[in-house]
């Protein structure tokens, strides 16, 4: 079973995954857009999430082995995926995958840095589009500029609505490609700030 869901809070995501296990859905892996489960016997599972990337496969394998030695099975995540999912294997395992508050909060700091890196990668492209007039920033202030029908905004009544409804798909077609990159950068920055606030909150 595939479920499409997005979280910006690790604690809420962990709670949801554990609730799914109690309902009889065993978490298999995280995908780009959601989660994959398989039907299973309901269980009182404990799933925890870390965020960490590795330059070398050997370092990733050592990381996994360290948690497995502490009683945690690695469920999902790759060397470069960032998101790492662990499930407590038995009652002999430690109560948490983190040894202290700072290490637990650190996952939010690493997540914030990832979002900032993505925003920084796209920002020069946005600046270049604005500098070359490929993207008219005035459209953000006045979306009416996307409508090219002469005299559209002077029409009224049924004539106005017919013209507006006719041209709106074309206006969206012209505008959406221009807005995708700026909105993407803005979204990445928002997630970065949100993760940084959670990092500070987690350290308290």
Q: Which of 88, 113, 136 is the last residue of a domain?
A: 88
Residue 78 token pair: 């790759």
pLDDT, position 93? 64
30 within some domain: yes
Summarize pLDDT for 34-68 with one digit per residue, the tens. Answer: 999 999 999 999 999 999 999 999 999 999 999 99
Whether residues 109 and 80 share a domain: the answer is no
pTM as predicted:
0.78
For residues 133 and 188, the answer to whether their CB atoms sit within 8 Å is: no
95 within some domain: no
pLDDT, position 92? 67
| DSSP string across 76-107 | E--TTTEEEEEEE-STTS-S-S-SSHHHHHHH
96 within some domain: no
User: What ranges in the chain are assigned the alpha helix state H?
Assistant: 10-22, 57-69, 101-131, 138-141, 157-203
pLDDT, position 15? 96
Instruction: Please give the angle made by the CA atoms of 28, 29 and 30, to the nearest 5 degrees.
Output: 145
Whether residues 9 and 58 share a domain: the answer is yes
- What is the domain extent for residue 29? 2-88
Residue 136 token pair: 């008219």
27 within some domain: yes
Whether residues 196 and 155 share a domain: the answer is yes
pLDDT, position 28? 93
Q: Which of 27, 58, 88 is the last residue of a domain?
A: 88
Low-confidence ranges of the chain (pLDDT < 70): 92-93, 133-135
- Number of domains making up the chain: 2
CB-CB neighbours of 28 under 10 Å: 16
């Amino acid at each position: 079973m595939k479920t499409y869901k997005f979280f910006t809070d690790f604690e809420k995501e962990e709670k949801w995954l554990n609730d799914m296990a109690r309902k009889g859905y065993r978490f298999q892996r995280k995908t780009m857009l959601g989660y994959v489960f398989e039907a299973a016997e309901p269980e009182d599972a404990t799933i925890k999430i870390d965020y960490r990337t590795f330059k070398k496969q050997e370092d990733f394998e050592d990381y996994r082995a360290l948690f497995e030695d502490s009683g945690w099975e690695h469920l999902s995540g790759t060397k470069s995926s960032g998101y790492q999912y662990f499930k407590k294997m038995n009652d002999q395992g430690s109560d948490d995958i983190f040894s202290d508050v700072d290490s637990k909060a650190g996952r939010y700091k690493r997540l914030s840095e990832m979002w900032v890196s993505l925003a920084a990668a796209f920002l020069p492209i946005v600046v270049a589009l604005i500098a070359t007039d490929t993207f008219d920033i005035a459209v953000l202030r006045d979306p009416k500029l996307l409508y090219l029908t002469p005299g559209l905004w002077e029409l009224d009544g049924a004539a106005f609505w017919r013209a507006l409804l006719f041209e709106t798909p074309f206006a969206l077609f012209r505008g959406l490609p221009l807005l995708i990159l700026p909105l993407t950068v803005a979204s990445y920055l928002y997630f970065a700030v949100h993760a940084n606030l959670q990092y500070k909150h987690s350290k308290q």
